[in-house]
Copies of this chain bind each other. A is one copy, B any other.
Amino acid sequence: MYADAANVSERQLQPPALAISTVIFALRPSATSGRPTLWLPLVRRIRQPHLGKWALPGGPLAQVESLQDAASRNLRETTGLVPNYLEQLYAFGGLDRAATQRLVSIVYWALVQPDEAALTRESENVKWFRADRLEALAFDHNSIVDYALWRLRSKVEYGSIAYHFLGETFTLAQVREVYEAVLDRHLDPANFRRQLRATPDITPTDDYLQGVRHRPPRLYRYTGAAGTLGAQAQPAQAQPAQAASTSVSTSASTD
């Protein structure tokens, strides 16, 4: 649309191309063990460069939308997903990210609940992959996913984003499974319970999960700050950092 007729010297004068991509995480049962594990959806490249390889969903930034809106819209268009957690990850701008042009990618990361993830418009060119068993992706997308995984792990250790993997109500064991899948280690059920019961943001309901072949566990609900974190909240601002709850409304912010 604009980079096609440019020769090298003209290209020098053009600003770098700007793209938005998103790393989306969801928990799905492992094919083998059945335990929940981290998965992410990728789309197949249908043009050069890297034609045929799998890549993060993404696209150019339209003039009339904010960065987060661009990420949200692109996600919906390419995969059908509407995440309930969406936050900026990092701006990648290395010189040799793309062979044909100077490309700066502003990357977001998102969490979706299992029922949402099940609605993905999967196809020949859109598929879910296990996050820990990725093949070679297009561009530098492998290292971007690694960085997103690192960020996910540190945020989970901090506290209050694990609930975005779960539905409205959940058992404490389900929360523990999220932690175990993300951090990749076993946690003592009794101690984990004690800690969760000590945090004020997670409230017991009067309901119990039915249909299990043992004592029915109580259901809980997350009642912390709106769509996002609790421990270290980001400052109330006009446009920036905020991880908005797009399940309510993409543009409705808390201020």
Nearest-Cβ distance from residue A156 to partner chain B, whole angstroms? 12
Does A147 have its Cβ within 8 Å of any Cβ on chain B? yes
Nearest-Cβ distance from residue A105 to partner chain B, whole angstroms? 10
Residues of B contacting A67 with CB < 8 Å? 91, 93-94, 104
| Contact, CB under 8 Å: A240 / B102 | no
In the assembly, what is the distance between CA of A104 and CA of B104, in Å? 11
| Contact, CB under 8 Å: A146 / B13 | no
Residues of B contacting A88 with CB < 8 Å? 90-91
B-facing mask of A13-36, CB < 8 A → 1, else 0? 111111000000000000000000
| Contact, CB under 8 Å: A239 / B146 | no
| Contact, CB under 8 Å: A239 / B15 | no
The binding surface of chain A is classed by DSSP as loop
| Contact, CB under 8 Å: A237 / B106 | no
Which B residue's beta carbon lies closest to that of A157? B232
Nearest-Cβ distance from residue A38 to partner chain B, whole angstroms? 15
| Contact, CB under 8 Å: A240 / B63 | no
* Contact residue among B17, B91, B140 (Cβ-Cβ distance under 8 Å from A106): B91
B-facing mask of A224-244, CB < 8 A → 1, else 0? 000000001011011111000
Nearest-Cβ distance from residue A172 to partner chain B, whole angstroms? 26
In the assembly, what is the distance between CA of A13 and CA of B92, in Å? 23
Nearest-Cβ distance from residue A214 to partner chain B, whole angstroms? 37
B-facing mask of A47-66, CB < 8 A → 1, else 0? 00000000000001101111
| Contact, CB under 8 Å: B147 / A234 | yes
| Contact, CB under 8 Å: B65 / A15 | no
In the assembly, what is the distance between CA of A88 and CA of B107, in Å? 13
Which B residue's beta carbon lies closest to that of A108? B91
* Contact residue among B12, B93, B146 (Cβ-Cβ distance under 8 Å from A237): B146
- Chain A residues proximal to chain B, CB less than 8 Å: 1-2, 11-18, 60-61, 63-67, 88, 90-95, 97, 102, 104, 106, 140, 143-144, 146-147, 150, 154, 232, 234-235, 237-241
